[in-house]
């Protein structure tokens, strides 16, 4: 992939920058962290503005409302929106970054037509029901059952760390459809309408005091078999498509924001040792930015990010921990003030990055076995 921008891509950048300069001042103030109905309205309004302006789903096919843009234009979009401090995808992130790309790669024509345009317009908010309290980092150990009953599955079990479960319309849920099969072979990927009877959503409180994650309890929840994405018991393969987007492209905006934060903190760093550490952080983020460009290019050509996405997630999440610790040392006693202190809030928020979307230990196993071809860990 050519890492330099062409004349047409720079023209796209200029048009986007002009739109951002005209649009951002018209936005209403961002709602409070816990005002969930208002946050949903605010985030989906931004998504609708992007859609109307032709900037939603840049890499998605045009028949589903996307722009069908080149991967380089997508990167330009992320660079410009992040540096302009435009709103992030917010409550739309599972739909636009995980579920939508998975449906494009694995969904039926009916599933794509039903959901993709609505996700892009901001008419549908999605959540994710993957993790379970008893599974830890071993996602395939999930126990939530889906027993076949005619044309329905009947779901029973519990999920945890369900992002935006309290305001979502649909969820991407992993369930066990064959309890007697080896753990990686008895799983299916389902589209779950979150207003289905039998679903109980209970928000969790994070270290920042926010509640974007929830516990979800499923008691005799009936889901049509037609809501399954992929073949029955083939959900682990579909899950890896979802995770490849989560570990690769879904961290792109995070990475661009980290480059901006490096510039923000640089004027505060006077200690020579801290300046060397900051230079290392900047070099790591720059290198990962180049690798991300390669991963996105592969995703567009082949339908899913390549091996680089697995490396990006591991390397970025650990580099971000080092950068966060450096920020706290630079702030010294100023790090005791949390509210309104972006560097401290970011440090607390990013503590979870080496766990989310697969712990670093799991990522190292994946990279060693699937990318480097090393012998599998004895089980």
Q: Catalytic site residues?
A: 246
Instruction: Report the sign of the C-alpha dihedral through residues 140, 100, 285, 259, in that order.
Output: negative
Spatial CA neighbour of 51 closest among 64, 42, 70: 64
Count CB neighbours of 378 within 10 A: 4
Distance CA 190, CA 173 (A): 5
Count CB neighbours of 315 within 10 A: 19
The token pair at 357 is 């979307």
Distance CA 118, CA 96 (A): 10
149: which DSSP letter?
E
Question: Exposure string (b/e) for 22-34, b if CB count within 10 Å is 16 or more?
Answer: ebeeeeeeeeeee
Nearby residues of 24 by Cβ (< 8 Å), 6 or more positions away: 84, 85, 86
* Under 8 Å between Cβ of 261 and 285: no
The token pair at 308 is 């680089």
* Under 8 Å between Cβ of 216 and 200: yes
């Amino acid at each position: 992939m050519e890492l330099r921008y062409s004349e047409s891509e720079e023209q796209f950048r200029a048009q986007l920058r002009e739109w951002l300069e005209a649009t951002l001042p018209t936005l209403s103030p961002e709602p409070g962290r816990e005002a969930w109905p208002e946050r949903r309205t605010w985030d989906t309004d931004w998504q609708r503005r992007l859609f109307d302006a032709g900037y939603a789903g840049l890499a998605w096919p045009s028949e589903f409302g996307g722009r069908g843009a080149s991967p380089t234009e997508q990167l330009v979009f992320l660079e410009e929106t992040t540096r302009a401090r435009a709103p992030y995808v917010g409550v739309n992130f599972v739909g636009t970054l995980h579920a939508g790309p998975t449906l494009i790669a694995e969904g039926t024509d009916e599933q794509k037509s039903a959901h993709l345009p609505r996700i892009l317009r901001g008419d549908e908010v999605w959540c994710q029901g993957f993790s379970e309290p008893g599974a830890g980092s071993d996602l395939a150990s999930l126990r939530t059952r889906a027993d076949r009953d005619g044309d329905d599955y009947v779901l029973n079990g519990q999920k945890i760390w369900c992002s935006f479960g309290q305001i979502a319309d649909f969820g991407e849920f992993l369930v066990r459809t064959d309890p007697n099969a080896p753990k990686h072979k008895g799983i299916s990927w389902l589209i779950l309408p979150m207003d289905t009877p039998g679903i109980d959503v209970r928000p969790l409180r994070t270290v920042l005091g926010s509640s974007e994650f929830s516990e979800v309890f499923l008691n005799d929840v009936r889901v049509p078999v037609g809501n399954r994405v992929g073949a029955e018991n083939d959900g682990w393969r579909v899950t890896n498509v979802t995770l490849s987007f989560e570990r690769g492209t879904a961290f792109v905006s995070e990475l661009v924001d980290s480059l901006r934060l490096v510039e923000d903190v640089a004027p505060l760093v006077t200690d020579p040792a801290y300046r060397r550490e900051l230079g290392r952080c900047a070099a790591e983020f720059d290198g990962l930015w180049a690798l991300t460009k390669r991963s996105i290019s592969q995703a567009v050509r082949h339908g899913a990010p390549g091996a680089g996405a697995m490396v990006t997630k591991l390397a970025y999440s650990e580099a971000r921990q080092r950068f966060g610790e450096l920020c706290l040392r630079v702030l010294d006693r100023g790090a005791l003030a949390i509210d309104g202190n972006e560097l401290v809030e970011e440090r607390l928020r990013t503590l979870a990055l080496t766990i989310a979307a697969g712990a670093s230990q799991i990522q190292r196993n994946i990279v060693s076995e699937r990318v480097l071809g090393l012998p599998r860990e004895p089980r």
